[in-house]
Amino acid sequence: MRGTQANHPQNPLDFRGTFTGWCVLYTLHTPPRAIGELAKEAEVRKLLLSHLSPATEEMHDAVLKSIRENYTGPVTLAEDGTRVQP
């Protein structure tokens, strides 16, 4: 039953398990909660998240909520063509 509904964690935005279901996503990408923890610890002023997984496209609100559990600064989710100035 690899990758089936039965293998999905309660909260895919904070998965810390084995290589099944949602975990495959987070072997390649950092979980949102960890992003928030790292941003808080590093005292960053702004976050610009790029190279977003298509698997999270419909969950942007939940991703932001998970990040904001630890990080309270501004967060921008980059889209194709996003340009920033230093």
Over range 27-31, report the average pLDDT: 75
pLDDT digit string, tens, across residues 35-47: 999 999 999 999 9
**Left, alpha or beta for 46 (phi > 0: left; psi -120 to 50: alpha)?**
beta
CA 60 to chain centre: 9
Report which of residues 86 and 79 the model is more confident about: 79
Residue whose tokens read 């099944």? 20
Over range 16-41, report the average pLDDT: 71
Residue whose tokens read 């559990």? 69
Whole-number pLDDT of residue 11:
52
Over range 61-78, report the average pLDDT: 93
